Amino acid sequence: MDPSRVSAILRAVRAIPRGTVSTYGEVARAAGLPGRARLVGRVLREAPGSAAVPWHRVVAAGGRLAVAAYAPHAAVTQRMRLEREGVRFTRGGRVRLDTSVGAGRKSRIFPG
């Protein structure tokens, strides 16, 4: 991977405010890599847990916890951390994109 892209993505993730979430696609755009949502997931997968990146604030479109398909246990951790920050969930285990702290309307999840 191009290290500059990696750092751009990690920077975008670090910019997500506490108590809010963003999506892979949105992080990709914020990192100047529109349409490359998959790359965000790949980078987060390779990112060491020691790195100071709030990976738990990144969810899939619609508030789904995409990490569940990759590491079911991680999804539990993600939900715990988000709830501790005040993020609300729906019955189906999705993040409430409309009422999360600081969430803004439809697609604008965190202000750039």
Given the rule CB under 7 A, which residues bind DNA? 1, 23-26, 35-42, 44-45, 47, 55, 58, 60-61, 64, 66-67, 69-70, 74, 78, 92, 107
Nearer to DNA, 17 or 74 (CB): 74
* Residue 14 in tokens: 């670090």
Q: How far apart are CA 75 and CA 36, in angstroms?
A: 22
Could you tell me the CA-to-CA distances from 89 to 22, 29, 30, 97 in Å, in that order?
14, 25, 24, 9
Min dist. Cβ of residue 43 to DNA (A): 8
- Extract the tokens encoding 59: 């969810």
Least distance to DNA, CB of residue 36, Å = 5
Q: How far apart are CA 1 and CA 46, in angstroms?
A: 11
- When the beta carbons of 34 and 86 are compared against DNA, the nearer one is 34
Q: How far is the CB of 86 from DNA (least distance, A)?
A: 19
